[in-house]
Amino acid sequence: MAVSVRDVAAAASVSVGTVSNVLNRPDKVSPATVERVHAAIQELGFVRNDAARQLRAGRSRSIGLVVLDVRNPFFTDVARGAEDRAAEDGMTILLGNSDENADREGSYLDLFEEQRVRGVLITPLTDDLPRLERLQGRGTPVVLVDREAADRRFSSVAVDDVVGGELAVRHLAEVGRRRIAFVGGPMAIRQVTDRLEGARRAVAATPGMTIEVVETESLTVLAGRAAGAGIRERVASDRPDAIFAANDLLAMGVLQALMMQGTVRVPEDIALIGYDDIDFASAAVVPLSSIRQPAALIGYTAVDLLLKEAGEAEDGGRERERVIFQPELVVRGSTVADSASSPP
């Protein structure tokens, strides 16, 4: 049934070695032969068997990527960037979605290791990293994504979330807000706590500013809606005058809940800022101010580091690298009333 190099070789009256050369080093083969072999391939409908190639090569040409939530556009953007960089070297991204669930995270890691991926990019669920260390110890490079490596055990690509949180709340201060609510959770996720810490710094730097924390169970639109509803239902004097949401999904949920029945005006009564600057943020009816992270660039860079490390692994001289990007404030209508809508 399946057509193999052997069949092609027979059909073109050459050896299997030559067929392989035509496929991989056509310049080493005479033009006439190349043509004959190609004709045979065409005629028989030969398709390389990647499993055999991989077996021979000892490793695959793919890279595993485990994200917290594929439904979050931030992560699909990261994936896109990773894919672009991978494609430059003829490699492929395998996308795994841990869904904030440790078991799923684990089974993707197992799968990727059995596939002998070139390396793993991961936004780990918790700070419990021994599993990743073992993986790396067995020869699969690991790069942490959107999470700074605490020490030199892993390479990492991240955005400074503390600075991002600070930016967000400093902006709220500048537009005159003083009673801040931070909406986010669970606190086990590092990004959440870092952003909160940044927020607290900005609060500390502004006389008269206060912050309360409204913890959520996840980083989704639904969780945001619940948190927002809670705030809307308070008596007006108890409400904050600004909300900093740990990501845009939450912020959009909060926004919807606040505006329900016209109780609360955004930004007049409550200013709102999110995090990630996903596409939907600018598309919201009150366009969302947010903290932009270079999502695609993060993915791109992560693959870059990975390939570099994988290359050097052979020489034994493994160099761990940490790349940190700076986040950027994007001001839109949800914090500044008359702000023109964003340009294209």
Partner DNA sequence: GTTGAGGAATGAATCGTTTCAGCAATCCCG
Partner DNA sequence: CGGGATTGCTGAAACGATTCATTCCTCAAC
Q: Which stretches of the chain bind a copy of itself, using CB under 8 A?
A: 1-2, 45, 47-52, 54-55, 58, 60, 70-71, 73, 76, 79-80, 83, 92, 94-95, 97, 111, 113-116, 134, 138-139, 221-222, 225, 252-253, 255-256, 259-260, 279-280, 283-287, 341, 344
Residue 24 binding DNA, by CB under 7 A: yes
Closest distance to DNA from the beta carbon of 219 (Å): 38
Closest distance to a copy of itself from the beta carbon of 134 (Å): 8
Distance between CA atoms of 161 and 154, rounded to whole angstroms?
Answer: 18
Residue 10 burial (CB count, 10 A): 15
> Is the Cα torsion angle 284, 289, 294, 295 positive or negative in sign?
negative
Which one of residues 11, 23, 142, 203 is an interface residue with DNA (CB under 7 A)? Answer: 23
Nearer to a copy of itself, 198 or 287 (CB): 287
Closest distance to DNA from the beta carbon of 308 (Å): 21
Q: Which residue has the tokens 């839109």?
A: 332
Distance between CA atoms of 173 and 286, rounded to whole angstroms?
Answer: 20
Which one of residues 42, 43, 52, 89 is an interface residue with DNA (CB under 7 A)? Answer: 52
Contact range with DNA by CB under 7 A, out of 19-27, 105-113, 223-231, 249-257: 19-27
Which one of residues 35, 39, 48, 89 is an interface residue with DNA (CB under 7 A)? Answer: 48
Cα–Cα nearest to 157, from 210, 97, 211, 85: 85
Give which of a copy of itself, DNA, none residue 32 binds (C-beta under 5 to 8 Å, depending on kind).
Answer: DNA
Contact yes or no for 79/67 (Cβ under 8 A): yes
* Tally of helices (H runs) and strands (E runs) in the chain: 13, 12
Closest distance to a copy of itself from the beta carbon of 153 (Å): 18
Contact range with DNA by CB under 7 A, out of 17-25, 74-82, 157-165, 262-270: 17-25
Angle between helices 295-313 and 73-88 (to 10 degrees): 40
Encoded one letter per residue, x for contact with DNA by CB under 7 A and - for no contact, window 57-96 reads: xx--------------------------------------
Residues β-bridged to residue 245: 183
Closest distance to a copy of itself from the beta carbon of 52 (Å): 5
CA angle 18, 21, 26 (to 5 degrees): 120
Residue 262 burial (CB count, 10 A): 7
Residue 14 binding DNA, by CB under 7 A: yes
Closest distance to a copy of itself from the beta carbon of 329 (Å): 21
Closest distance to a copy of itself from the beta carbon of 113 (Å): 5
Which one of residues 35, 43, 44, 53 is an interface residue with DNA (CB under 7 A)? Answer: 53
Which one of residues 45, 56, 236, 317 is an interface residue with DNA (CB under 7 A)? Answer: 56
Closest distance to a copy of itself from the beta carbon of 31 (Å): 24
Distance between CA atoms of 185 and 171, rounded to whole angstroms?
Answer: 22
Give which of DNA, a copy of itself, none residue 285 binds (C-beta under 5 to 8 Å, depending on kind).
Answer: a copy of itself
Give which of a copy of itself, DNA, none residue 225 binds (C-beta under 5 to 8 Å, depending on kind).
Answer: a copy of itself
**First vs last Cα of the chain: how many Å apart?**
54
Contact yes or no for 93/82 (Cβ under 8 A): yes
Closest distance to DNA from the beta carbon of 274 (Å): 47
Show the DSSP H helices in the chain as ranges: 5-12, 16-24, 31-44, 50-57, 73-88, 102-114, 130-137, 161-174, 190-204, 221-232, 248-259, 279-283, 295-313
Cα–Cα nearest to 28, from 36, 20, 40: 20
**Which residues lie near DNA (CB under 7 A)?**
2, 4-6, 13-21, 23-24, 28-30, 32-33, 46, 48-49, 52-53, 55-58
